Structure 1
Amino acid sequence: MPVRPAFHLAIPVNDLDVARQFYGHVLGLAEGRSTGHWIDWNLYGHQLVTHLVPGRSVPVGTSEVDGHAVPVPHFGLLLSADDFHALAERLRTAGTEFAIGPYRRFPGTPAEQWTMFLHDPAGNALEFKAFRDESQVFTR
């Protein structure tokens, strides 16, 4: 029996061809079902759906975290360290402009993690991160 995805997330995009290029070719996600109005993506076993919303722009603010202006709102995904570094290299090779480039945050603490932020072509803010110790994700 296949593993059920842990989450389903739907986000607005203003051009499905551009979304297909970014999510499929830059991020390397496998495309699932689609219509002329949406595309399903396999986001590391989770279902991400890009919905066409013409003319929609995503307002983004920031919040200070560890000396960086973190884009808000954003959605993110916890990866293994190997997957994080492979994705970071893939994004660098693709010439991705990062909102916050890959770096190690909170070194020497239980919350130590690698993180990076970027925007998709529609302006949706994305975060990918990997904890040094995955059992510490919710440690206070």
Structure 2
Amino acid sequence: MTTLDVFHLAIPTHDLDATEAFYTNVVGATRARRYDDRVTFRFFEHQVVCHLDPEFAPAADLDPFANIYPRHFGLTFRNGDDFDAFHERCARSGWHWFRPWANRFGDLPERHRTFFLADPTGNLLEFKHYEAERYIY
């Protein structure tokens, strides 16, 4: 693989309009195209496709302390300043935090900063930055 390869992720949505507003206005993705049954985004240089499933109910009962694993996706920032700027962007959007900014793993070498958002359908997104890049993988 080369750095030009693009990761593709397909997830469900119950509402294309609300989903498009979240991914463009809150996390800054660019809408690539939209059809009656899906919307495709350029999400940090990767492809996220949200497929319409009107019967897929929003996950209203998500518990921020129990439901993040294993079902979430997101981005690990290599640059701490970029992470901070993105966190600030999300804060300015007014969107609610699923899990607010936190430090994980305290004084361990793999410590990192993280926060979670939930899109309108309840798909969970984690954004994080490791202090020591070697612990990303």
Q: TM-score category by the smaller chain?
A: 0.7 to 0.9
Amino acid at match of 2:29: L
Per-residue CA distance 1:73-128 (angstroms, 9 max, x = gap): 21122113222211211111111211210122113212111100111011111111
RMSD over aligned Cα, in angstroms? 2.2
Q: Distance in 1 between matches of 2:119 and 2:36?
A: 19
Corresponding residue of 1:131? 130
Could you say if the C-alpha distance between residues 2 and 71 of structure 1 is closer, same or farther in structure 2, counting changes exceeding 3 Å?
A: closer
With normalisation by structure 2, the TM-score equals 0.85
Alpha-carbon displacement from aligned partner over 1:56-80 (angstroms, at most 9, x marks no partner): 02557669xxxx5452321122113
Unpaired runs of 5+ residues, structure 1, are none
Q: Give the 3-state SS of the residue equivalent to 1:98 in structure 2.
A: coil
Hey, what does 1:108 align to over in structure 2? 107
4+ residue runs of structure 1 moved beyond 3 angstroms?
58-63
Instruction: Tell me the percent identity.
Output: 35
Q: 1:61 to 1:24 in 2, by over 3 A?
A: closer
Q: Determine helix, strand or coil for the equivalent of 2:129.
A: strand
After superposition, residues 76-95 of structure 1 pair within 5 angstroms as 76-80=74-78, 81-95=80-94
Q: Give the equivalent residue in structure 2 for 1:3.
A: 4
Say how many residue pairs are matched: 133
- Aligned equivalents of 1:115, 1:34: Cα separation in 2: 31
8 Å Cα contact 2:83-2:128 kept in structure 1: yes
